Amino acid sequence: MGLRIILTIRIFTILLVIFCLTGAEAGAVKYERSVESVTIPDVVLVNQQGDKVRLKSLLETDQPVLVDFIYATCTTICPILSAGFANLQRELGPEAAKVRLVSFTIDPENDTPGIMQEYLDRYQAQPGWDFLTGSRQDIDRVMKAFNAYFRSKMDHQPLSFIRSQEDGKWIRLYGLMSSSDLMKEFQQTGGK
Amino acid sequence: MMRSSQTFTVFMTKVAIVHVVVLLLLAGAPRFSGAADQPALSAEEAYRLGERMYREGILPSGEPMQAFVNGDVPVSGTSFTCVSCHLRSGLGSIEGQVSAPPTNGRLLYLPREPYIKGYEHVPSFHNYAVYFQPRPAYTDETLAELITSGVDPTGRSVIKVMPIYDLEDRDLEILIAYLKTLSDKTSPGVSESEIKFATVIVEGTDPVAVESMLAPVEFGIARKNSLTNASAANPRVARMGYNMLGPDLLQKKFSLSRWVLKGPSSTWRAQLDAYYQAEPVFALLGGISEGDWEPVHRFCEENRIPNLLPIVDYPVISDNDWYTFYFSRGVRQEGEAAARYLHGMYDLFSGRAIVQVSRDSRKGNALADGFRAIWADTGHPAVIDIFLKEGEQFSQQRLQEIISELKPAALIVWDDAAALEAFTGLPALADRPGLILASGTYVGKALWTIPEPLRELLSFTYPYRLPQDDIRFDTLALKVLPGKKYSDYDQKIIRQSYITNELLGNALMDMRGEYYRDFFFDVIAMMADEYYPLYERVGFGPGQRYASKGCFIVQLGKGENPQLERRSEWVTR
């Protein structure tokens, strides 16, 4: 009986600590938000199916657009960003196809269409999420346009962007975000 | 939103249950006994299952582990495996601004201080140690709590950077037992005073090539040992060496043995086993073969011995093998690049045929195979293959027959310099293909002798930085040949081996005295992309095993001393 009471108290304490900490993490703003003007470079990239994609046409659209910079063999930042995209699609359900999610590789040397498709499959990506590669020069142009240039993929940082449907400006989100934060930012910029 | 919230709440309830189980386990339950209806596991089976959980995110039941990232994002454990961040060695990673601390039992069960004991004043060790917050030593109980709830022993939450896992008690026990085996005992070939390396040389390889492979690596090892010797006698040198390497690496001498393989490749495995039995080494450095390498590759895979950058034309192509880092995908990479280049201009071909002529030789077949593999992925109609048998000359007449019969939009010729003669009459041919492409490395030095009228008609794959751009690295390459004549060596191989020497030195300094083979390659994989000699860009990345992935398409320029001119970027998609 005594052991049971001790265990109950212990479990309650653990759960209390966990919920308090979880709440604290979720409640605090842990990422930086800014509004940026981005001039999309006129480059042709290649998606996970090997199709050529003119970037301006893909991004300058009436549809909501979210962008991030990742690479397929990344071990730390990219899985968290991609889990956020995957969860956003899950939360949006049938509406997901109306939102463009665009991941740019920062490792075009390695990330071929086949590797990128495999990556998207791993995250159970739905239609509407494209992973783009291209020549090093074109990828560098895109990174620089978004003020997200990394000399090496190993120097990269957690960056996501949401295009405002009102004025075409981009909300720059710097930091590892929870899915609820990403959803909140998405809804604030006109996403349904 | 509802769905993930509910899942998360259910999960948190399970967290409580897991804690009960962990407490009960710690009360003295036997290891791996499992529930009453589950059979006891042997240590080997538990290790196998733990390794699968750690590396693949698969539960002992065969189901994927369920994880949550960032507090509330449900993900499959197969996309968020432990190895993703803590790497195969379990000694962790630092990438961008996210760092994953070591997760091997030996370090988990020690308190973490803001310094590494014995290395407090070594700058690189200090810079690493301050990445992580101090914490008390883990116990089985607090480790279980971290894995399932994301709370470390100080009460800090790590859910921003580490998933929490929904694990049953037995699975948790198996995973924790596996963590205790990670990077637990120093790898073979390392003692208090020495690290042993070997290099594999296939007998019959061009002696100049062999010496060119050896010179930079032997230079690096001799320099390291000189520093060790000098530091014993000179306090100023000792101070410098201490700051650079730390006390442990500074006192260790390096040795490099030559493992010469004789006879047919089918006998190499036995020779390698005998060499290894006589002298277990930490890793193989470089190595050289003009033909086969697969037996060496397999030997390394099966014995979990790293092989850093052998000089080979035919590396083993694998997405999963782990223990050999190659410079590139070898000869095959040129064929792959050619296919991507043609894919980029396919709309210009208007449905006309593409013809691939290839010499039935190891090199010709590797080039043609590489081309076909990538071309198949593009979904375009297959190319027309024509094979040149041994001794068969690719003649002007054969070329004219191909052009008049097949009228190809593009012609690819994978043959050696003798094939250049076939193109002599090309300028006069009315229906010549818009693109004729050959291999710069297969044609070899004859590339520089192509007569001017042909130069703008023939294109070549060239998997290196252009010579006029790479000349700036001569100074670096010469540094590893002190007092020697550069012209006595193969300049390409000197450059390759220079890279091997650089990576070896940098990796050992980054290893912080943790001499584990898996960590050796984990550290190299985490290095930033670099601009080294020979290749336009060298980079690995976790799990990547081919350092240079690019290839230019070039033509020979005009004039008496022509230069190669780019017709493509380094990477074409």
Residue that wins the pLDDT comparison between B94 and B28: B94
B80 at interface of A, judged by CB pairs closer than 8 A:
yes
Mean predicted lDDT score pLDDT of chain A: 83
For residue B180, give both structure tokens.
């205790």
Are A50 and A76 within one domain? yes
Quick one: average pLDDT of B8-15? 46
The nearest CA of chain A is from the CA of B288 a distance in Å of 25
- Least reliable range by pLDDT among B78-92, B282-296, B507-521: B78-92
Residue B7 has pLDDT above 50, yes or no: no
Residue of chain A nearest B345, judged by CA positions? A52
The nearest CA of chain B is from the CA of A104 a distance in Å of 14
The nearest CA of chain B is from the CA of A38 a distance in Å of 23
What whole-number distance in Å separates Cα of residue B82 and Cα of residue B57? 7
Are A81 and A21 within one domain? no
Residue A94 CB burial class (10 angstroms; 0-12, 13-18, ≥19):
exposed
Which among B73, B87, B96 has the least Cβ separation from residue A83? B73
Residue B137 has pLDDT above 80, yes or no: yes
- Nearest 5°: the CA angle B413, B417, B422 is 60
Tell me the pLDDT tens digit for each residue of B460-489: 999 999 999 999 999 988 889 988 998 999
What whole-number distance in Å separates Cα of residue B167 and Cα of residue B176? 11
What DSSP line would sit under B306-321, residue for residue?
-EE--B-SSPPP-SS-
Asked if A30 and B23 come within 8 Å (Cβ–Cβ), the reply is no
Are A75 and A56 within one domain? yes
Range ranked top by mean pLDDT from A22-36, A74-88, B406-420, B472-486: B406-420
A84 at interface of B, judged by CB pairs closer than 8 A:
yes
The answer to whether A163 touches A37, Cβ cutoff 8 Å, is no
Q: Which of B26, B69, B70, B341 to mutate to test the interface with A (most CBs of A within 10 A)?
A: B70
Show the DSSP H helices in B285-395 as ranges.
294-303, 331-344, 362-378
Q: How far is CA B234 from CA A57, B226, B230, B239, B387, in A?
A: 66, 12, 6, 9, 65
Quick one: average pLDDT of B397-407? 95
Pairing status of strand B435-439 against strand A159-163: unpaired
B9 at interface of A, judged by CB pairs closer than 8 A:
no
A49 at interface of B, judged by CB pairs closer than 8 A:
no
The nearest CA of chain A is from the CA of B196 a distance in Å of 30
The nearest CA of chain A is from the CA of B42 a distance in Å of 31
The type of residue at B357 is V
Confidence of residue B35 (pLDDT cuts 50, 70, 90): low
Are A20 and A76 within one domain? no
ipTM above 0.95, yes or no: no
CATH of the domain at A50: 3.40.30.10
B405 at interface of A, judged by CB pairs closer than 8 A:
no
What is B332-462+553-566's CATH number? 3.40.50.2300
Q: Which residues contact A107 (CB under 8 A, 6 or more apart)?
A: A71, A72, A73, A153, B539, B541
Quick one: average pLDDT of B256-283? 98
Residue of chain B nearest A76, judged by CA positions? B85
> Other CB atoms closer than 10 Å to residue B27's CB: what's the count?
8
pLDDT for position B32: 52
Are A166 and A184 within one domain? yes
Show the DSSP H helices in B39-92 as ranges.
43-56, 82-86
Map tokens 């538990």 to a residue: B46
Confidence of residue A156 (pLDDT cuts 50, 70, 90): confident
- Least reliable range by pLDDT among A87-91, B37-41, B318-322, B419-423: B37-41
Residue B19 has pLDDT above 70, yes or no: no
Residue A1 has pLDDT above 80, yes or no: no
What whole-number distance in Å separates Cα of residue B329 and Cα of residue B314? 7
Pairing status of strand A159-163 against strand B458-462: unpaired
Are A101 and A179 within one domain? yes
Pairing status of strand B283-285 against strand B324-325: unpaired
Tell me the pLDDT tens digit for each residue of A117-137: 999 998 889 999 999 999 999
Quick one: average pLDDT of B130-149? 93
Asked if A84 and B73 come within 8 Å (Cβ–Cβ), the reply is yes
Q: Which residues contact B571 (CB under 8 A, 6 or more apart)?
A: A108, A109, A135, A136, B549, B550
By residue range, what is the domain housing residue A25?
Answer: 1-30
Q: Which of B73, B152, B328, B535 to mutate to test the interface with A (most CBs of A within 10 A)?
A: B73
Ranges in chain B annotated CATH 3.40.50.2300: 194-330+470-535, 332-462+553-566
Three-state secondary structure readout of B417-468: HHHHHHHCCHHHCCCCCCEEEEEHHHHHHHHHHCCHHHHCCEEEEECCCCHH
Collect all residues of chain B within an 8 Å Cβ-Cβ radius of residue A178.
70-73
pLDDT for position B31: 45
Quick one: average pLDDT of A171-175? 93
Quick one: average pLDDT of B200-219? 97
The nearest CA of chain B is from the CA of A95 a distance in Å of 14
Mean predicted lDDT score pLDDT of chain B: 90
SS3 of residue B365 by DSSP: helix
What whole-number distance in Å separates Cα of residue B32 and Cα of residue B169? 10
Are A46 and A131 within one domain? yes
Asked if A136 and B157 come within 8 Å (Cβ–Cβ), the reply is no
Are A43 and A17 within one domain? no
Are A128 and A178 within one domain? yes
What whole-number distance in Å separates Cα of residue B486 and Cα of residue B477? 9
What whole-number distance in Å separates Cα of residue A86 and Cα of residue B240? 50
B573 at interface of A, judged by CB pairs closer than 8 A:
yes
In the stretch 86-115 of chain A, residues with CB closer than 8 A to chain B read 86-87, 90-91, 107-110, 112-114
CA atoms within a 13 Å half-sphere pointing along the CA-CB vector of B98: 24
Q: Which of A6, A13, A22 to mutate to test the interface with B (most CBs of B within 10 A)?
A: A22
What whole-number distance in Å separates Cα of residue A132 and Cα of residue A141? 13
Collect all residues of chain B within an 8 Å Cβ-Cβ radius of residue A158.
96-98
Which among A45, A76, A110 has the least Cβ separation from residue B95? A76
pLDDT for position B497: 97
Are A22 and A76 within one domain? no
SS3 of residue B66 by DSSP: strand
CATH entry, B194-330+470-535, from 3.40.50.11540, 3.40.50.2300, 3.30.70.1560, 3.30.830.10: 3.40.50.2300
Residue that wins the pLDDT comparison between A108 and B98: A108
The answer to whether A76 touches B85, Cβ cutoff 8 Å, is yes
Count how many domains chain A has.
Answer: 2
Are A90 and A6 within one domain? no
| Length of chain B in terms of residues written | 573
Residue B266 has pLDDT above 60, yes or no: yes
Tell me the pLDDT tens digit for each residue of B506-519: 999 989 899 999 99
What whole-number distance in Å separates Cα of residue A180 and Cα of residue B69? 12
Asked if A76 and B85 come within 8 Å (Cβ–Cβ), the reply is yes
A147 at interface of B, judged by CB pairs closer than 8 A:
no
In the stretch 453-512 of chain B, residues with CB closer than 8 A to chain A read none
Are A130 and A152 within one domain? yes
Show the DSSP H helices in B485-573 as ranges.
491-510, 517-525
Which among A45, A114, A123 has the least Cβ separation from residue B79? A123
Size of interface A-B (CB pairs under 8 A): 183
pTM comes to 0.88
Range ranked top by mean pLDDT from A8-17, A28-37, B91-100, B170-179: B170-179
Q: What is the biggest distance separating any 2 CA atoms in chain B, rounded to whole angstroms?
A: 90
What is the sign of the dihedral through the CA atoms of B484, B485, B489 and B495? positive
Tell me the pLDDT tens digit for each residue of B413-452: 999 999 999 999 999 988 899 999 999 999 999 999 999 9
What whole-number distance in Å separates Cα of residue B487 and Cα of residue B485? 5
